[in-house]
């Protein structure tokens, strides 16, 4: 049986276990996870939060992370501005980035989701509105969601990966993880830290 951990990665944490060679000490997965033999299945940027999957099975890791399998990844995205349907339609059709066209995304405008407080908090601007989007993509380019929203004139302020496939970060506090007893079935097993 493969081991699979669902980790709620806090803002400012690197999606790796070490940070050798950095002139400043940065937080890594080893500050939160003391489970031997598991490795991240994909990445989540240091300035992004939410679900990061870790496993001990290379085949499962590839299935989760490899864009060929087009596993859906859903994000709650706080953007600067007031998105109109034309902006959202641009994301739904796909956006031209420097590394080519993205696949079409599923995008809906949502009310602010009930999330944990971010540390540090998002800076609020008195005269510039912000909005929340729920975006699902089926590929995983470097900083893709941030680049997509910027391309349609909606800079990302906060990015929270909520789910990957059937796995979700719902109910897992930032900096905590749960071990899934049977990969692909859902949450269960033990709670870490």
> What 3-state DSSP class applies to 144?
helix
Tell the residue number behind the tokens 């809906």, with chain if given: 108
Residues 60-91: tens digit of each pLDDT = 888 888 777 778 999 999 999 999 999 899 99
Average pLDDT over residues 48-66: 90
Of 9-13, 53-57, 83-87, 122-126, the one with minimum mean pLDDT is 122-126
| Planar angle of CA 81, 45, 69, nearest 5 degrees | 100
* pLDDT above 70 (res 178): yes
Q: Which pLDDT score is estimated for 68? A: 76
Q: Is the peptide bond before 33 cis (omega within 30 degrees of 0)?
A: no
Residues 145-173: tens digit of each pLDDT = 999 999 999 999 999 999 999 999 999 99
Instruction: Output the 3-class SS for 28-90.
Output: CHHHCCCCCCCEECCCCCCCCEEEEEEECCHHHHHHHHCHHHCCCEEEEEEEECCCCHHHHHH
Q: Which pLDDT score is estimated for 151? A: 95
* pLDDT above 80 (res 51): yes
Residues in the chain, how many?
A: 193
133 bridge partner residues: 77, 109
Task: Answer yes or no: 45 catalytic.
Answer: yes
Mean model confidence pLDDT for the chain: 89
Q: Which pLDDT score is estimated for 191? A: 43
pTM above 0.75, yes or no: yes
Residue in 19, 31, 34, 45 annotated catalytic: 45
Residues 15-31: tens digit of each pLDDT = 999 887 778 889 999 99
Report residue 31 as tokens: 């500050």
């Amino acid at each position: 049986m493969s081991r699979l951990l669902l980790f709620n990665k806090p803002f400012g944490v690197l999606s790796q276990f070490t940070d050798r060679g950095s002139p400043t000490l940065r937080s890594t997965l080893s500050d939160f996870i003391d489970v031997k033999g598991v490795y991240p299945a994909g990445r989540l940027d240091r300035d992004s939060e939410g679900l990061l999957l870790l496993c001990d099975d290379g085949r499962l890791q590839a299935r989760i992370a490899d864009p060929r399998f087009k596993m859906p990844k859903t994000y709650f995205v706080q953007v600067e501005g007031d998105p109109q349907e034309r902006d959202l339609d641009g994301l739904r059709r796909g956006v031209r980035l420097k590394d080519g066209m993205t696949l079409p995304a599923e995008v809906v405008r949502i009310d602010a989701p009930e999330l944990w407080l971010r540390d540090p908090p998002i800076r609020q601007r008195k005269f510039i509105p912000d909005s929340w989007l729920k975006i699902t993509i089926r590929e995983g380019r470097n900083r893709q969601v941030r680049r997509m929203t910027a391309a349609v004139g909606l800079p990302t302020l906060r990015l929270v990966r909520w789910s990957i496939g059937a796995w979700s970060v719902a109910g897992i506090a930032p900096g905590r993880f749960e071990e899934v007893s049977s990969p692909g079935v859902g949450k269960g097993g033990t709670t870490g830290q």
